[in-house]
Amino acid sequence: MKFESVDAELVRPYEIRVTWSTALEMNNNYFEIQHSETGVYWETIGVVESNGSADVIQNYQFIDKRPLVGYNHYRIKQVGFNKDHSYSESVVVSTERDKEAFVVAPNPVYENQTLVLMNIEGIEHIEVINRYGKHARQWHEPRKRIPMDFGTGIFSLRVKTDRGWLTKRIVVQ
């Protein structure tokens, strides 16, 4: 089973739609929609039946009618008929319209986890700078997901947009 995409979006003030698609399904039984406040401890909040086996893209969705106020992390657990399972990437969405220039989540983030940029448009350049002022990584194209695969510590995330540079402090554990 291969996840093609996973996304979550606020569709009403307190309703979040979680969507995902698969590129290939073999002997797939169902999906568990898992939720977390922090991106660390997960609980199953719903189940969606699978189409079983397919070699074309399949699209699914789940509506969370009771999200938390603030940040909500989601991931999909795929469970096969033989009880084998795999997990999608996690995604995060907020129920609040943040007043900050932009938001990163989760923060702190674990090494090798993906950091998500939210509430930011017009991204032109992204830099992650270590505590010694050296570039740990940089990208010259827009992106909203940043793989934190360059070690632990405190970093500065600098994002250049069409409005100028924005900076956030990131803790990688």
Q: Are 105 and 118 in contact (CB under 8 A)?
A: yes
Low-confidence ranges of the chain (pLDDT < 50): 98-99
Per-residue pLDDT at 29: 95
Closest CA to 121 of 97, 105, 106, 102: 102
Distance between CA atoms of residues 164 and 162, nearest Å? 6
Same fold, 2-93 and 98-172: yes
Output the CA–CA distances (angstroms, integers) from residue 24 to 27, 28, 85, 103, 131, in the order listed.
Answer: 10, 10, 14, 33, 42
Asked if the peptide bond before residue 67 counts as cis, ω within 30 degrees of 0, the response is no
Per-residue pLDDT at 86: 93
Report the CATH fold assignment for 2-93: Immunoglobulin-like (2.60.40)
Place of tokens 């699978």: 50
- Residue 126, number of CB atoms within 10 A of its CB: 19
Residue pLDDT, tens place only, 12-25: 877 899 999 998 88
Asked if the peptide bond before residue 13 counts as cis, ω within 30 degrees of 0, the response is no
CATH class of 98-172: mainly beta
Q: Are 161 and 167 in contact (CB under 8 A)?
A: no
Dihedral sign computed on CA atoms, order 62, 66, 67, 73: negative
Distance between CA atoms of residues 82 and 79, nearest Å? 8
Closest CA to 73 of 60, 90, 88: 90
Q: Can you give the residue ranges of every domain in the chain?
A: 2-93, 98-172
Residue pLDDT, tens place only, 69-100: 778 899 999 999 999 999 998 988 888 754 45
